[in-house]
Amino acid sequence: MIKKFVDQPIQRACVIPLIFISLINYSPLVQAQQTNSIPNAVKNSPFQFFKQPKLPRNGAPTGRRRAGAGRSPECPKNLTRLTALVPGDAGKSVLASTVAENPTFWFYVPQLPETMRSGEFVLQVLDAKDAQNVYRTPLTLSEKPGIVSITLPAQPQYLLKVDKKYHWYFHIYCSDPEKTSDNFYVDGFVQRQVLTEALNSQLKSAKPKEYIVYSANNIWYDALTNLGQQRRTNPQNATLNQDWIDLLNAVGLQDIAQEPIIQNYNLEK
């Protein structure tokens, strides 16, 4: 169930650790960060030292990376393939980072029948034990299977604040949402970090492959978005396609790594 929604201001403060990256040779990426091997990462890829977060303990939040079954027979079984492109373990998602005020979220959506094109994206801010609304919008989805992205509006009231945890949901309704609450969904968590001068300098030096810097600093949402946007505009680029596959392999999403990117929802309203 989605909790109550109320807008509320948030305070800023956080600093992220940085790592120096060679932009000529990717293999020495951040040896100091490598504490455990990553079974899914491809050796000699730019992402071989990406630290896949482990499932947290002691009540830390986890979400649903893969959709569960709906309650209604109206819901096609293939909707269980609905997937959030986030770090996690099997079907569970974990908290990941961004430096963007209005980040982009990525999902794999299976083929939908004509009667099931209604989706919804919801973003909440976590405040103590409560969850309060930041943004909520309906979406009309494509019938084609593939990867979609959703970019938050850039208006001040929707921007992420530093050092706050946010909870997002992506729903696909099994029929008209005005008539049913039955849906498939995935959910997860994001936290905005400070874009420091050192990180900004690394990003400028890395262009157009900023995603390698983001990945080495474990800033998942921006690594995926920077690479995904380039892959969407250059779908035949073999290097971008391989880097995309390697990045998704690093978080155990190899089963959808070759799916096409079909749509971006830029929610400017």
Phi (first) and psi of residue 210, to 5 degrees: -60, -25
What pLDDT shows up at residue 86? Answer: 96
Q: What are the backbone dihedrals phi and psi of residue 243, each rounded to the nearest 5 degrees, phi first?
A: -65, -40
What pLDDT is attached to residue 180? 67
Residue whose C-alpha is closest to residue 213's, from 228, 198, 234? 198
Q: Is residue 79 over pLDDT 70? A: yes
Question: For residue range 14-36, what is the model confidence (pLDDT) as tens digits?
Answer: 433 444 333 333 333 333 333 33
**pLDDT band at residue 69 using 50, 70 and 90 as cut-offs:** low
The domain locations on the chain are 31-266
Reported confidence tier of residue 178, pLDDT bands at 50, 70, 90: confident
CB of 221 closer than 8 Å to CB of 98: yes
Note the pLDDT of residue 20.
36
| Matching residue, tokens 């505009």 | 233
Would you say residue 202 has pLDDT above 70?
A: yes
pLDDT of residue 39: 40
Q: Percentage of residues in the chain with pLDDT exceeding 70? A: 75
* The CATH homologous superfamily of the domain defined by 31-266: Macroglobulin (MG2) domain (2.60.40.1930)
Does the pLDDT value for residue 116 go beyond 70?
yes
